[in-house]
Chain A
Amino acid sequence: MSDTVLKIENLVAGYVKGMPILNDVNLTLKKGTIVVIIGPNGAGKSTLIKAIAGIVPITSGSVTLGSKNITGLAPHTMTKEKISYVPQSDNIFRMLSIRENLELVLRASTEDTTSRLDELFEQFPILAEKQKQKGGSLSGGQRQLLAVAMALSTRPEIILMDEPSAGLSPKATQEVLELVRNITKTGVSVLLVEQNVKQALRLADHCYILAEGRNQLDGPAAELLNDPVVGEIYLGGKRIVAS
C-alpha cells in the first residue's frame, strides 16, 4: 500500500536550455496518497508538474514511474502510462460538447466508450445532464469538474493537477478538493500544486515546499500545517536548502 509510484530525482528543467527553472528537485509519491506542492510565486511548482508531463524539457535528473524511467516522455503517451494531467487553465475544449470532450480522451483507452461514459455520468450527474452542451457554456466549477472527469476517464493510477481550485468559489473549491480525496480511496495517487495552502495541507498526506526552483522542506501535511517555518518561507524569511 505504501510503495512509491512516482519518484523524481535531481530534476533540472526549464523552457530555455541554460536557464533552468527547476534546480535539483526531488520528490516521492506513494500509492494512494495525496502529495501537495506549495510555495511562493515563481517557485517552479507548475513547471515541476509540466516537466513530469513532458511539456517542459528536462535537462538532467530522472522521473521514474514504478520501475520505469519516464523522463521526458512524449505528452500524448501519458495516458498509456496511466498518468492523467489536469492543467490549471484552458483544461477543457470549449468548442466541443461535454460528451465529445470525454469521448475524445477515451480514444486512448481500450475500454468500451459507451459503458465507460455511463459510469462517468453516474459519478457526475451534472455532466450527464448537460452532456450535449458545449464546454464553453459551463460555469467555472462545472468546467473543472469536467476536467477532472476527463482525467479520471482513462482510469489513471496517477493524476497530476495544477491548482485545481484556481478561479473557483469557496464552495466549488471544497467540492473539487473533496473529489480529489475520494479519488485516492480507489488507490489512485494524486500529485497536485495548490496556492490555497491551508486547504491543501488539510487535504494532503504529504507536502513539499518549493521555492526558487529547489526543495525547501517536506513532511507529513499535518505536521507542516502547524509549523511556523512554513509561514516564514512564504514571507521570504528562512531558506532551507534540502540536501
Chain B
Amino acid sequence: MIQGLLDGILFGSILSLGAIGLTMIMHTLRFANFSHAELLSLGAYVALVFDKVFSVVSPTLDNTIGSLSLTLSLVLAFPLALIITGLSAMLIDKFIFKRIREKGEELSMVFASFGVALIIRNLIGLIFGLKTQLFSDDIVMAVIISLDPLIMVKPDQIMVLGVTLVIMLILHLILTRTTFGFALRAVAENPSLAEVSGIKLSNIVALTWLIGGSLAAAAGIFYGLTNHVNPIVGKDLVLPIFAATIVGGIGSIYGAVLGGFIVGIAGNMALLILPSGYSPAVPFLIIMCVLLIRPNGLFGEGRE
C-alpha cells in the first residue's frame, strides 16, 4: 500500500503540473480546454526530438547522468521543449480560440478544443508513429527501499518529484514576490478592475498560455521519463487533469497542485480495490464525489 501511495504521489505531481495551466485558463477565459492535455504529449515529443538531435550532434551528451535514465542531451532539450510548447499553446489560442470567443459563444471554444486535441494527437501519431517509445533505452534499476513491505523507487521518480517541487516553488515565488505575479492574481480575481488598473488583459492571457503550456510540457516529459511516450498520453490524462482542477477548485493554482496529488493518490489507492481495467473511470468517480459534496472544490471561488 505504501508503494501505491508513493506511486500516487509521483503520478500526482505530474497531474499537478498539468492542472496548473488548465485551471488558470478555465478561470480566466471560462473555457474547459480539452486540448490542454495534448500539450503534455507535445512537450514529450519535442523533447524526444531535441534529445536525439543533441546526442547526434555531440555524442558525449548521450551518457546518462548517475543512476538516472536522464541524459545530458535531454537536460538541454528540456527548456527548449518547454518554450516551444508554451509558444504553441499561445499561438493556438491566438489563431483559433481567440477568434472563436470573439464571435461570442464561450462553449464553442470547448468544442473547438476537442477538434484541436484530435488534430494534435493524430498529427503526432502520423509524424512519430503510433508505437510507444522511451527517452532512453538503458534499463534503469529500481532501488529497493524496504523489503517488507516491498517498496521500490526508481531514481528517475525521485528526481522528477524533486524538480516538480522546485518548479512549483519558483511559481509560488513569482506569484507572491513579483508584480507580474500580482497581475496574474489580479486578473484572476477581477479582470475589469485589473484592466483599469493598467493591466493589458491580452498580454496576461498570452502569458498564461505560455506558462500553462510550459508546465504541461514539463509534466509530459516527466511522464515520459517515468512511464513512456506515445501519442495517446494526452488522451489518457485529459480526465485526471480535469479532475485535479475540479478537486482543487477552478482558478486556484494551489488548489490545482493539491488536486493533482489527491487524484494521483486516490487513483492508485483505488487500484487496491478495483481491477486495473477500471482505472480510467476513477477520475470520473472523483469528479462526481466533488460535485456532490463541494462543487467548488477546495479553494474555488464559484465565479459564475
Contact = CB atoms under 8 A, between A and B. Distances in A.
Direct contact of A and B (CB under 8 A): yes
Interface of A: 53, 55, 74-76, 78-79, 85, 87, 90-96, 100, 103-108, 150, 154
Interface class of chain B by DSSP: helix
Given A93-B185, A96-B185, A100-B182, A105 B190 contact: no
A76 B190 contact: no
B189 interface: yes
Given A87-B193, A104-B199, A107-B183, 8 more contacts: A93-B185, A95-B185, A96-B185, A105-B197, A105-B198, A107-B179, A108-B198, A150-B197
Given A93-B190, A96-B185, A103 B179 contact: yes
Interface in B182-217: 182-183, 185-186, 189-190, 192-201
A102 B203 CA distance: 20
Contacts, number: 60
Given A103-B182, A104-B182, A76 B201 contact: yes
A74 B198 CA distance: 10
Interface size band for B: 10 to 19
Given A93-B186, A95-B185, A95-B189, A78 B196 contact: yes
Given A103-B179, A107-B179, A75 B186 contact: no
Contact of A76 (B179, B182, B185, B195): B195
B185 A55 contact: no
Given A90-B193, A91-B193, A93-B193, A104 B186 contact: yes
A105 B195 CA distance: 10
Contacts of B192: 55, 75, 87
B189 A104 contact: no
A106 to B, nearest CB: 8
B193 A76 contact: no
Contacts of A94: 189
Nearest to A107: B179
A76 B196 contact: yes
Nearest to A80: B198
B157 to A, nearest CB: 35
A107 B198 contact: yes
Contacts of B198: 76, 78-79, 105, 107-108, 154
